Chain A
Amino acid sequence: MDWEAILSNTASWLISPETIAYALAALGLAVHFGYGGLLNFGMAGFMALGAYGYAISILTFGLPWWAGIIVGMLASVVFAFILGIPTLRLRADYLAIVTIAAAEIVRLLFTTQVFDEVTNSADGLGNYHEGFRAANPFPEGTYGFGPWEYNANGWWVRIFGIGLLIVAALLVWLLMRSPWGRVLKGIREDEDAVRALGKNVFAYKMQALIVGGVFGALGGVVFALPSAVVPSVYVTSLTFFIWTILLLGGAATVFGPLLGAVIFWVIMGFLSNVLPAMASSGLLPFMSTTQAATLRFILVGLALMLIVIFRPQGILGNKKELTFVKQ
């Protein structure tokens, strides 16, 4: 086995666009669930809207790249309203079912042949990179060291993504130390009590849904920046991976989602390299390389179960401040 290549491949996941995108989405989910107690199982839908909003604005409407990002964010705001108005007054598990259903609706609508002209149906969209790359402040060439060697476009995507992530994390931190965050956390604990104290619970939940949803859309944009937008990415599994990341890092923390995303992708990257290599070198008998590649997703499921049962506060969470309110 080529350990050097395996470790180098693994290390590159530390700052991969995927890691940054998932961290942004997980941060959005922290606002929803960790601080607000909203069971949003439709993060994939928010991400899809961000990615498609960006790509379609550029390809179909010829908008500049930054306007594409804004369109993606606005799309997620509209989506949050559509989801929130019927469900935020209802019990928490209704929101779960409606969000997961709505995310599937979004994905199916991007997949169908009906809007092929705009969405290119199942094939997805590409070739929208021109504007973003033209705005690249880095000169041509390849930079970096060790496993982190990228060309100018690679660095531009990563640094832009990290910039978005820092701004988002700062916003979450500012919000959650404020009285606004206090109300939101109170709603997570018991919304009737907060209502009895004269707070407009519905408005707060809606605001939280929008803020988290916009972060999710930005995650979708970062995911789309380096490559392409393909509808088959935005399945419910994506949402569940984001949940795994959030709960791994700590749901009611600012840095938990970031840490969770890094750990998730580094481990996934490592396993995706090491398991097939082990299988092909005979270290995993009775296992084909394809099976070895599948094994890591089995482990994700197992990890999610174990975290939730044995360490629900995640790595960074306060043991006392469990985020799961018993209902």
Chain B
Amino acid sequence: MSSNSGAHSPVKTTGLHIGEAVPGVAKVDPIIIADNVTRTFGGLKAVDVEHVEIPRGAITALIGPNGAGKTTLFNLLTGFDKPDTGTWTFDGTRLNGVPAFKVARMGQVRTFQLTKALGLLTVLENMKLGAQKQTGENMFASLIKPLWRKQEGEIEERAMEILARFKLDTKKDDFAASLSGGQRKLLEMARALMSSPKLVMLDEPMAGVNPALTQSLLDHILNLKKEGMSVLFVEHDMHMVRHIADWVIVMAEGRIVAEGDPESVMQDAAVIDAYLGSHQDVDLGVVTGRVSGENTAGVEDLLADIEAEVGLTDSSAYIADTNTDTQEEDTK
């Protein structure tokens, strides 16, 4: 459905912040408020956020060069990693120190940069796993089918509804491992919706997705907002950020360096600085192992970046760029 709903001009939510759009600016209706969050890895400060607020009912993009600490911040906020210091609240409830599964139960679900479709479960089983408060998930109750048969039916109905929206209903009995990369991303997002979350956190939803699926993914994200959910996503693709984000938070070297609506952030000197800095790193060519012509390649990337920031988009260049970035971050 709604494949053309705002494909060209999505309705942006405005008036999210109070006062001047500086890093750490207060929001009118924040869903997450974080203070003094730090996390170090062997002497390196991966995240050092003094204050940040994520607006409710809007799509917020978290951008920044590689190693800026975006994914680490994500992991901290969702309880997948423990911070050195820091407190934060979700919907008014304190979340620091709360284990990941409880965070998810409160309505803050996430997806992963590397898709985590459960390969040897079927698509439908994947979906059903997303539903909350299942009687049959208690070990003793699970032995007696009448206790959970009715609920299971309801969950299945709901799962099929969502799958149909994501055009995965025909694949319900396939193993998730047999899906394409993009379909797995869709499945992961659909599965997250099974829990009726308040805030959906997407870690690089576009990474590794075939360009043909990009538009449909964008539409699904816009639909989340339409249904009243808040969205926070990490992304490298400036084109996409511009297109759908209502608010942009820029990170570099663990800190938040800029905040604002997409248009103004793209022109922010700090942002261009952050990206320039990162591309100087790439130019060193250590990571990619390119021996010859590394300068020109780096410069090309850089030019492409700057072009995007000024609005002359060339999305295909970006997908390639994003892919290499992803690979680098995957290696642990």
Contacts and interface: CB of A to CB of B under 8 A. Distances in A.
Contacts of B120: 185, 188-189, 320-323, 325
Interface string B100-142: 1110110001111000111111000110111010111111001
B183 interface: no
A174 interface: yes
A171 interface: yes
B195 interface: yes
Contacts of B99: 200
Contacts of A196: 78, 80, 100, 104, 109-112, 116, 192
A251 B130 CA distance: 25
Contacts of A321: 120, 175
A198 B101 contact: yes
Contacts of B192: 196-197
Nearest to B109: A196
B30 to A, nearest CB: 22
A207 B137 CA distance: 12
B129 A178 contact: no
Contact of A180 (B109, B118, B121, B138): B138
A198 B121 contact: no
Interface string B137-168: 11100110100100010000000000000000
Interface residues of B, number: 43
Contact of A192 (B80, B109, B130, B191): B80
B137 A179 contact: yes
A321 B176 CA distance: 11
B143 A175 contact: yes
Given A178-B148, A192-B112, A193-B112, A198 B139 contact: no
Interface in B206-257: none
Interface in A190-219: 190, 192-201, 207, 211
A82 B80 CA distance: 24
A84 B117 CA distance: 26
A179 B121 contact: no
B76 to A, nearest CB: 14
Nearest to A324: B120
A207 B143 CA distance: 14
B20 to A, nearest CB: 35
A49 interface: no
A178 B134 CA distance: 11
A200 B137 CA distance: 10
Nearest to A191: B116
B191 A179 contact: no
Contact of A179 (B109, B111, B152): B152
Given A171-B143, A193-B112, A320 B175 contact: yes
Nearest to A321: B120
A197 B143 CA distance: 22
B142 A178 contact: yes
Nearest to B138: A180
A185 B191 contact: no
A323 B120 CA distance: 8
B145 A178 contact: yes
Interface string A88-120: 000000000000000000000000000000000
Nearest to B191: A197
A186 B194 CA distance: 15
Nearest to A181: B142
A190 B104 contact: no
B118 A189 contact: yes
A201 B129 contact: no
A174 B109 CA distance: 30
B195 A197 contact: yes
A194 to B, nearest CB: 7
Nearest to A189: B118
A323 to B, nearest CB: 8
Contacts of B129: 182-183, 186, 194, 197, 199
Nearest to A194: B129
Contacts of B118: 185-186, 189-190, 193-194
Interface in B77-112: 78, 80, 99-102, 104-105, 109-112
Interface in B168-216: 175, 177-178, 188, 191-192, 194-195
B105 A198 contact: yes
Contact of B137 (A171, A183, A189, A190): A183
Given A189-B120, A193-B118, A198-B105, A179 B136 contact: yes
B136 A180 contact: yes
Given A185-B121, A195-B80, A201 B101 contact: yes
B109 A197 contact: yes
A196 to B, nearest CB: 5
Contacts of B145: 174, 178
Contacts of A189: 118-121
Interface of A: 171, 174-175, 178-183, 185-186, 188-190, 192-201, 207, 211, 320-323, 325
29 contacts: A175-B142, A178-B143, A178-B145, A179-B128, A179-B135, A179-B136, A180-B136, A180-B138, A182-B129, A182-B137, A183-B129, A186-B121, A189-B118, A190-B116, A190-B118, A192-B80, A193-B117, A194-B129, A196-B80, A196-B110, A196-B111, A197-B104, A197-B129, A197-B195, A198-B101, A199-B101, A207-B139, A211-B139, A320-B178
Q: Which 4 A-B pairs have the closest CB atoms?
A: A179-B136, A178-B142, A193-B116, A198-B104
Given A185-B118, A200-B101, 13 more contacts: A179-B137, A180-B136, A182-B125, A185-B121, A185-B125, A186-B118, A186-B126, A195-B80, A196-B104, A196-B110, A197-B191, A197-B192, A320-B120
